[in-house]
Amino acid sequence: MRLTLILLISLLLSACMKDDPMNQAFVSFEPKDIDDGLIISNPLAEGIDPEKLTSVYNISYNDETLWSLRSLLVFKNNKLVAEAYLKDEKDITTRHLIWSSTKQVMGILTGIAVDQGLIASINDPISAYLPEVLNAYSEKAGITIEQLITMHSGIDYNNDGVGGQTDKVLRQIPDNITNFVLARPMRTAPGTDFYYNDGDPQLMSAVIQSAAGKPTDEWADEVLFSKIGVRNYNWVRYKDGTTLGGFGIETTPRELAKIAMCVADSGRFNDQQIVSAEWIREMISVKVDLSGDYKFGYYWWYDATRNIHFTWGHGGQFAFIVPDQQLIVVMTSIPNTQGDYQIQADEALPLVDHIIDACY
């Protein structure tokens, strides 16, 4: 009896569960034609070494630091030459959160608003578009549009942690998101220094919404998304009806790529000028010469060493534009990861380096 019990308990003690594999087995990066407007090609035809590209995909599937990577797409000469969905094949059409890559879309929309005259000048104060600023938040009346799109408003809005303002927004605690941002104290005078936060693009969404006379997402669908074939997306509004500005878009890697393609082609898409080339040039040029590796334009990130412009969303949502190679690389990742568990640009860019190395 005692032996039976010892054996039974030993057997139970050894019982353990195993992780499922994080990634599917890598089979192929051959793109599928799903009739979403993208032109499909192959690496050889566009001047990429297929064997080197295969080794890049092998790295993406096996590198422990990239465990949360969900998709890797490579576009050359505006054509999709390789794609893989590491977690689930359905991610080809399943929308996921792109978090702060929404900010880069806000940058494009600001340009379209300027092109269309909805915003007379980026030097305009936000009080010209948000009259409530003058009435209730006069210390912020002088903040300009340009300060919003370069993260220079000076408003003390904290993205991080349980005590941060974004956390309160995600819990939908404030009744009115615009007033919530405007009611924050100033940390510096407007225009003094760069302070990356979700509050500035949120105010930019409110400005566009006021100027366009309709929610930013609705206007964006008319002037941008419908024109570049982005149809598989959703842009979340706050409970007061204001479109989220610092984050909020849910879409697919293929749709995110179309936004990057429009920027890479100086604002054109399928030979139609969507946003002026002048704005695109300004938007992706260095406006904030940050001390680190990455510089900042109008919401767009720039790696000056590599000459790569990119979108960057929390968790590891990227669209990299490599102008020298006419190359676009899109990476998306499990989005709600925090701290060390999210893919940073420092971890994603070496993969882009490998893809550049594979180009003839």
Partner 1 sequence: MTRIWITLGIIWFGMVLSAQDTGNKTEHTVSFKSQYIQIKDEFNYGLVNRGLNLVGEYTLVSHIDKNIFSYQAELGFGANYNQGLGLIWSLKPFDFFYGFRINNNPEMPIALGPYLAGYYKWQLYPELQSGHMFWISSYELGPRFQISLPVKSRILHVSMSTSLASLNSRPEPRIEQYYYSLTFSDFVSNPHSNMTFGSVNLYNHSDLRVELTHPEKGFSFAYEFEFMGYFNAPAFRYMAHSINLNWILGYKKSK
Q: Are strands 272-273 and 268-269 parallel, antiparallel or unpaired?
A: antiparallel
Q: Report the residue from 3, 18, 25, 271 that binds partner 1 according to the rule CB under 8 A.
A: 18
User: Nearest 5 degrees, angle CA 29-CA 99-CA 177?
Assistant: 160
> Which tokens belong to 143?
């903040």
Nearer to partner 1, 142 or 215 (CB): 215
Handedness of CA 123, 125, 126, 131 (dihedral sign): negative
Nearer to partner 1, 244 or 358 (CB): 244
Restricting to residues 228-267, name those near partner 1 by CB under 8 A: 236, 244, 247-248, 250
CB of 337 to partner 1, least distance (A): 6
Stretch that binds partner 1, among 5-13, 104-112, 188-196, 288-296 (CB under 8 A): 5-13
Q: 10 Å Cβ neighbour count for 107?
A: 24
Closest by Cα among 328, 320, 317, 316 to 359: 328
CB of 61 to partner 1, least distance (A): 15
Written as one letter, the residue type at 225 is F
Q: Report the residue from 194, 196, 341, 360 that binds partner 1 according to the rule CB under 8 A.
A: 341
Q: Is 339 in the site for partner 1 (CB under 8 A)?
A: yes
Chain position carrying tokens 């009744």? 175
Stretch that binds partner 1, among 53-61, 76-84, 149-157, 165-173 (CB under 8 A): 165-173
Contacts of 158 (CB under 8 A, 6+ apart): 164, 165, 166, 197
Report the number of secondary-structure helices (H) and strands (E) in the chain: 13, 12
Q: Distance of CA 18 to CAs 13, 21, 66, Å? A: 15, 9, 20
CB of 347 to partner 1, least distance (A): 15
Stretch that binds partner 1, among 51-59, 137-145, 266-274, 334-342 (CB under 8 A): 334-342
Cβ(268)–Cβ(227) under 8 Å?
A: no
Q: Report the residue from 66, 72, 97, 208 that binds partner 1 according to the rule CB under 8 A.
A: 97
CA 180/CA 124 separation, integer angstroms: 22
Q: Is 62 in the site for partner 1 (CB under 8 A)?
A: no
Stretch that binds partner 1, among 6-14, 44-52, 114-122, 152-160 (CB under 8 A): 6-14
Q: Helix/strand/coil (H, E, C) string of 143-173?
A: CEHHHHHCCCCCECCCCCCCCCHHHHHHCCC
Q: Is 170 in the site for partner 1 (CB under 8 A)?
A: yes
Q: Is 163 in the site for partner 1 (CB under 8 A)?
A: no
CB of 66 to partner 1, least distance (A): 12
- Beta-ladder partners of 131: none
Q: Is 67 in the site for partner 1 (CB under 8 A)?
A: yes
CA 132/CA 143 separation, integer angstroms: 13
Nearer to partner 1, 109 or 334 (CB): 334
Q: Is 13 in the site for partner 1 (CB under 8 A)?
A: yes
Nearer to partner 1, 213 or 339 (CB): 339
Residues that bind partner 1 (CB under 8 A): 1-2, 5, 8-9, 12-13, 15-22, 67, 87, 96-97, 167, 170-172, 236, 244, 247-248, 250, 334-339, 341
